[in-house]
Amino acid sequence: MTGSSAAALVPAEFPVRLLARGLDVLVLAAVDVGLGRLMGYGFDWLLVGSAFVFFYFSLLDALAGATLGKLVLGLRVLGPDGGRPTLRQSLRREAFTLIGSIPFIGPILALAAWVVIARTIRRSPLRQGKHDELAGGTRVVHLQAG
């Protein structure tokens, strides 16, 4: 990673990652409500909103190394090589965000995915979740002055 020594990269714990995701959800909820008012809250809205959420996380992580929530909290997503994740890695990493869009059972499946991710983050020495593993070894770090 450019400009930071490896010693200054600390694996991000689940609570701060969840808080970053929560900040992102606030941004996304505002966009989603705006989309709903603009296009109506139908099936088209569900598709467009789901795609927006998926690409928000995937593109920002690949292009900037962080979403807005992660930036605010000093977190970065790293690829297996220590740089930003590739677009392919980011798309794989965030594929679970689409689960919640499945009509009727999506929210239950999304909750199950979050439980798996939380448990794998807590058990991993580098705090990698199942979605990080599926993306080839991405990880989230907390940048510290050093």
Tell me which DSSP letter residue 140 carries.
E
The pLDDT averaged over each successive group of 10 residues in the chain (146 residues) is 60 97 97 97 95 98 98 97 97 96 94 97 97 98 78
Q: Which residues, including other chains, have CB under 8 Å from residue 49's CB and lie 6 or more apart?
A: 31, 32, 35, 36, 101
Query: In the beta sheet, which residues pair with residue 9?
Result: 143
This prediction's pTM: 0.90
Query: In the beta sheet, which residues pair with residue 110?
Result: none
Predicted local confidence at residue 4, as pLDDT: 47
Residue 129 CB neighbours (<10 A): 26
Helical pair 14-39 and 106-123, crossing angle rounded to 10 deg: 160
Which position has the token pair 């677009």?
A: 87
Predicted local confidence at residue 144, as pLDDT: 76
